[in-house]
Amino acid sequence: MKIRTVEPLELAAPAGESSSPWGSTILLVRVTTETGAVGWGEAPTTLMTHPVRESVREVARFYEGRELHAHREALREFERYSFYRSRSMEATSALSAVDIACHDLLGRELGVPVCDLLGGRMRDKVTAYANGWYADCLTPEEFAARAQEYTRKGFRALKFDPFGDQYRTLSPQGLDLAVARVGAVRNAVGPDVDLLIEYHGRFLPEAAMRAGRALDRFAPRFMEEPVIPELSDGLADFRREVVTPVALGERLLTSADFLSFLRRGLVDILQPDITNSGGFSYGREIAGVAAAWGAPVAYHNAFGPVQTAATLQMDATLPTFFLQESFEASWPDWKRSLVRGYALEDGEFRIPGGPGLGIVVDDAAVERFRSEAIDPVGPEPPWVVGGTWARPPPRTGKGADG
């Protein structure tokens, strides 16, 4: 069974409907065989929607016309040709999406979930933590009230960025406000809910350490990407100064990257992203590194439903699974309508048992939300959960992407 086509499909919020609190576009990849069988993958889009889409077309040249069961040969050939692959988020993201879709097709052909192709499941459900829940929250009281709302939905872990518009440096007023926000959330949800502090990799080491020392008192489960990525050596000092474990990985692309961070003592909890670190093929290698090191794994998962479905298949097989990120409870209707086959209930995901990724993609919805939009710029960066730097402006009726 040969691969006939590899197609990137960009989607965006329709006019008049908001995007999610994070991520205004979705990039799906549809792989179709000569028999008409279809597999689905997904790639990240953060301010690189069109570059990744075009990179999918580059990757497609290595897969189209090749036997599905020989898809690993295509991957290895792309490795040889793509000179900058190990440092190109666009190249690895495109490759990841195609790899996910090929595994989806193989599972459908054999009638088994992808986790069975990876050696079999170790669990039937996983604990999720909520992200995106604090959209449009600015005051400590707003953070606290929204946190209580999400614990009533069954979440026992909440991730959030309390630092507002602080960037690189951290003013005394900015730190005081971050402490007040985290303290308000801790008081609102009590000691039995895990708090996960998101730094978004934006601080110089000194500022990150001041924040870490100040927030240690609230006993977070982890602090994510506290230091600007290109200054990652500063994480060694951070880990010596701050008690809370460090989590990172969404910007690491290869198993060698993860191994390097572990060897240098820069990270406690790994957060690979299946849509930019090589899909399932490289995902197995990263899982092996984590298992050999005894490092907990909490997959990054901030885009769309195909990503979630693929990540859950990976979660099922991880020897050191920790927690699973989820934006689902904050999604708008347009994202919810794309896929069925998995569910989030009382803060837990059940691993889909159907063939492949275990999902059904709604082709009509995919066509309805097709777009040529690019990520909007301002008033906040696209990686920010909306409305946490400033009050959102009144809606114009044009939709999130104009």
**pLDDT by residue (tens digit) across 290-331?**
999 999 999 999 999 999 999 999 999 999 999 999 999 999
Kindly tell me the number of DSSP H helices and DSSP E strands found in the chain.
13, 14
Residues in the chain: 402
Assess contact for 355 and 112: CB atoms under 8 A.
yes
What average pLDDT does the chain have? Answer: 95
Q: Which of 50, 71, 103, 300 is catalytic?
A: 300
Instruction: Quote the pLDDT of residue 367.
Output: 97
pLDDT of residue 394: 64
User: What are 91-123's pLDDT values in tens digits?
Assistant: 999 999 999 999 999 999 999 999 999 999 999
Question: What is the fold of 116-356?
Answer: TIM Barrel (3.20.20)
What pLDDT, on a 0 to 100 scale, did the predictor assign at position 133?
Answer: 98
183 vs 197: CA distance, rounded Å: 12
Which strands, in side-by-side order, build the sheet including 25-33?
3-12, 25-33, 38-43
CA distances to 177, 195, 197, 325 from 160, rounded to whole Å, are 14, 8, 6, 11
Give residue limits of the domains in the chain: 116-356
Residue 103 appears among annotated catalytic residues: no
Q: How far apart are CA 14 and CA 185, in angstroms?
A: 33
Kindly report the CA angle at 99 between 97 and 101, in degrees rounded to 5? 70
User: pTM of the full predicted structure?
Assistant: 0.96
What is the predicted pLDDT for the residue at 399? 40
Strands 194-198, 222-224: parallel, antiparallel or unpaired by DSSP? parallel
Structure tokens at 313: 């298949």
Token reading at 172: 């005394």
- Predicted confidence at residue 393, as pLDDT, reads 64
Q: Name the stretches of the chain with pLDDT < 70.
A: 392-402
pLDDT of 397 reads 44
Beta carbons within 8 Å of 386's beta carbon, 6+ residues apart: 19, 21, 22, 135, 136, 380, 392
Which amino acid, 369?
F
Per-residue tokens: 135: 């959209």
Tell me the three state secondary structure of residue 67. strand
Q: Let me know if 50 is a catalytic residue.
A: no
